[in-house]
Amino acid sequence: MARIGVYPGTFDPVTLGHMDIIRRGATLVDRLVIGVTTNPSKSPMFSVEERMAMIAREVAGVAGDIAVVAFDSLLMDFAEREGASLIVRGLRAVADFEYEYQMAGMNQQLNHRVETIFLMADVALQPIASRLVKEIALYGGDIRPFVPAGVAEDVAARVARLGRRGS
């Protein structure tokens, strides 16, 4: 039986930190499903469809069986639908751990058959957060050190369309 893992997130936009977790997570499972979702507490720069297209483009060269799937449900319901036995989560800092630890505990209560594993982002990538990438871009900063080149172009085009080039 194939071991399937789900790596969920908003990926708005996908960063080099996300890509690091995707590359490493894909080596731990037979199939990695990247679950792209909405988060009611966040205001996305890109639609779910746009984020899925960005991720699909960026993972095209990554080794492994990787799928990009949208979901708008409880993570554990999504994991069950995908046949996953693992949830892959990336950690950057202690603050991430506290939140992720609580979520893993709740998810374990919802479905004890699905295990959560945590991967630390590469040390050089730990400070990167999509929220900060968007803020830097909206104020005219250079986001190329934080995101894949194609994503930097996507973000620049979106910022130009929004008419925000610093204040």
* Residue of 144, 131, 147 whose CA lies nearest to 57: 147
Assign 164 a pLDDT band (cuts: 50, 70, 90): low
Q: Give the confidence band of 137 by pLDDT, cuts at 50, 70, 90.
A: very high
Domain boundaries, the chain: 4-123
- The region of weakest confidence among 7-11, 26-30, 125-129, 139-143 is 125-129
Q: Which of 41, 52, 62, 33 is nearest to 151 (CA)?
A: 52
Output the pLDDT for position 167: 46
**What span, in angstroms and rounded, lies between the C-alpha atoms of 110 and 27?**
26
pLDDT at 25 over 50: yes
Write down the pLDDT at residue 96.
80
Task: Report pLDDT digits (tens) over 112-133.
Answer: 999 999 999 888 888 899 999 9
Higher pLDDT, 115 or 41: 115
- Model pLDDT for residues 145-159, shown as the tens digit of each residue: 999 999 999 999 999
**Top-confidence residue, 166 or 46:** 46
Predicted pLDDT of residue 165 = 53
Q: Are 165 and 140 in contact (CB under 8 A)?
A: yes
Question: What confidence score (pLDDT) does residue 1 get?
Answer: 83
Mean pLDDT of the chain: 93
Burial call 69-87: b when 16+ CB within 10 Å, e when fewer: eebeeebbebbbebebbbb
Given a cut of 70, whether residue 109 has pLDDT beyond it is yes
Domain boundaries 4-123, CATH class:
alpha beta
Q: Say whether pLDDT at 11 is over 70.
A: yes
Cα–Cα distance measured from residue 157 to residue 32, given in angstroms and rounded to the nearest whole number: 29
> What is the set of active-site residues?
18, 42, 92, 130
Query: What's residue 85's pLDDT?
Result: 97
